[in-house]
Structure 1
Amino acid sequence: MTLCATSCIALLGGSFDPVHHGHVALAELFARQLAPDELRIMPAGQPWQKKAGLQASDADRVAMLELAFQEAAFQPVIDTREIARHTPTYTVETLRELRAELGPDASIVFLMGADQLQKLDSWRDWKDLFALANFGVAARPGYRLDAAALPPAVAQELTPRFATPEEVRASKAGRVCLAHTLAVDISATEVRAALHEGADADATGRAKLSALLAPQVLDYIQQHHLYKN
């Protein structure tokens, strides 16, 4: 948990199948709080925890990410290394690779929602993650961030690591900042279900979907006939 990092790289990974307002809100929240030198969005290749697989192609997910963030205040870099790997995606392997590239003095901040934090102990080599990166965790309705709501092993590991955004930005790894101000409750499962049911076929349905997706992403989905089957 050494201070005085030379640069700060924030990283948001996920399936983005499809990318929705919740993803963009989480990225922009930490872009404001951390003021990173770079924000990377990293779509997963073959996420091992998603047994049903991804519905949109790699190319479609990347294209939707580019559209979703085209008007964001903090322009991210789309990092496709996990897609290029063609093997099951493990966060610890990605962070080891990034640490080797960025060097020992960079602050890497892995961003996630509270729902992911509550199952962190199911991730491969999850305790090793804290030696590789800091964490930024955003609230989500229905998921508490206090220690009592977390698996005991996760709570024990996190509690001594809590820090302010400024401390996390200055730290190379091992710190955790919590953001309780994100009140966006959207899931990609909910979006896919609405699209599968044909919610985009009329004005009422499009209005519902506009609360979930950027209009340019919805247009892309319609033009490419995604999430219909």
Structure 2
Amino acid sequence: MGVSRCIALLGGSFDPVHNGHVALANYFVTLLAPDELRILPAGNPWQKPPLKASAAQRIDMLRLAFERLAVPVVIDEQEIHREGVTYTIDTLKALRAETGPQASIAFLIGADQLLHLRTWKQWQKLFDYAHVCAASRPGFDMAALPPEVAREFGRRGASAEQIRTTPHGLGFIAGKLAIDISATQIRGALQHEHSVGTLIPGGVLDYIQQHHLYKS
């Protein structure tokens, strides 16, 4: 029985969304040719300090950042509306229940998140609901991965074609994403009125300035 469709899923705080997020999405859209890119803004990320922009503002910025992507983009608000702390495993379970067993779900992360993956709730069970696809920044050292994470990706390693044509359970680490941007760095630059023009999509920067975000 074949896969019904392929959904690429990109989660994050997006506070603010930046060109690194767009590059990560574009990379996997090109690689996997998914039927849909699902963007998942975090509600109350348990491993990070409180968010600066409101949920509505982050969603507005996401729409502006991803409006020209080559595949349909859906902004999934389930984590924003969920009460209490959000865990990726709960979100993937909900998405799997929604899409059914035959959809391929590719959960996209930056490789720096792999360093912390073993601290995520039930991280090994993520593979029961999705594939986990990471793209590394320049200079990222695979040898720095925690041994259990490296082992998991070692035994689950797959090609883009296999990820597209099976529902879940595989891992993929790409080493070619030459973008090194962090939202923390951008918020700091905006606060001190430094230029961030090359780091953020133009429409998002206009929005930030119009709404006086990240000033204090």
- Fold-level similarity (TM above 0.5): yes
Question: What corresponds to 1:154 in structure 2?
Answer: 149
Matching of residues 91-170 of structure 1 within 5 Å: 91-144=88-141, 146=142, 148-170=143-165
Q: Supply the distance in 2 between the matched residues of 1:36 and 1:72 (Cα, whole angstroms).
A: 12
Question: What corresponds to 2:14 in structure 1?
Answer: 16
Letter in 1 for 2:46: W
Conserved? CA contact 2:31–2:160, under 8 Å: yes
Instruction: Find the partner of 2:175 among 176, 180, 184.
Output: 180
Q: Supply the distance in 2 between the matched residues of 1:91 and 1:142 (Cα, whole angstroms).
A: 27
Instruction: Find the partner of 1:213 among 177, 194, 200.
Output: 200
Question: What corresponds to 1:48 in structure 2?
Answer: 46
Work out whether 1:193 is the aligned partner of 2:180: no
SS of corresponding position for 1:88: coil
Letter in 2 for 1:66: R
SS of corresponding position for 1:71: coil
Conserved? CA contact 1:186–1:212, under 8 Å: yes
Q: Supply the distance in 2 between the matched residues of 1:110 and 1:139 (Cα, whole angstroms).
A: 14
- How many pairs are equivalent? 216
1:44-73, Cα deviation, whole Å (9 max, x unpaired): 0000001x2100000000000001111223
Post-superposition offset of 1:212: 0.3
Q: Where do 5+ consecutive residues of structure 1 fail to align?
A: 200-204
Q: Supply the distance in 2 between the matched residues of 1:182 and 1:5 (Cα, whole angstroms).
A: 27
Structure 1 length as normaliser, TM-score?
0.91
Moved more, 150-159 or 90-99: 150-159
Post-superposition offset of 1:197: 0.5
Question: What corresponds to 1:222 in structure 2?
Answer: 209
Identity over aligned pairs, percent:
56
Moved more, 70-79 or 123-132: 70-79
Letter in 2 for 1:223: Q
Question: What corresponds to 1:202 in structure 2?
Answer: none
Post-superposition offset of 1:198: 1.3
Post-superposition offset of 1:143: 2.1
Q: Structure 1 segments of 4 or more deviating over 3 A?
A: none
Post-superposition offset of 1:101: 1.1
Structure 2 length as normaliser, TM-score?
0.96
- Pair 1:138–1:183, CA change in 2 (3 A): same
Conserved? CA contact 1:46–1:83, under 8 Å: yes
Q: Supply the distance in 1 between the matched residues of 2:45 and 2:211 (Cα, whole angstroms).
A: 23
1:173-224, Cα deviation, whole Å (9 max, x unpaired): 111122222110000001000000112xxxxx3xxx1110011111100110
Letter in 2 for 1:192: R
Question: What corresponds to 1:33 in structure 2?
Answer: 31
Q: Supply the distance in 2 between the matched residues of 1:105 and 1:16 (Cα, whole angstroms).
A: 29
Conserved? CA contact 1:10–1:110, under 8 Å: yes
Q: Supply the distance in 2 between the matched residues of 1:10 and 1:215 (Cα, whole angstroms).
A: 24
Q: Where do 5+ consecutive residues of structure 2 fail to align?
A: none
Letter in 1 for 2:213: L
Q: Supply the distance in 1 between the matched residues of 2:74 and 2:163 (Cα, whole angstroms).
A: 21
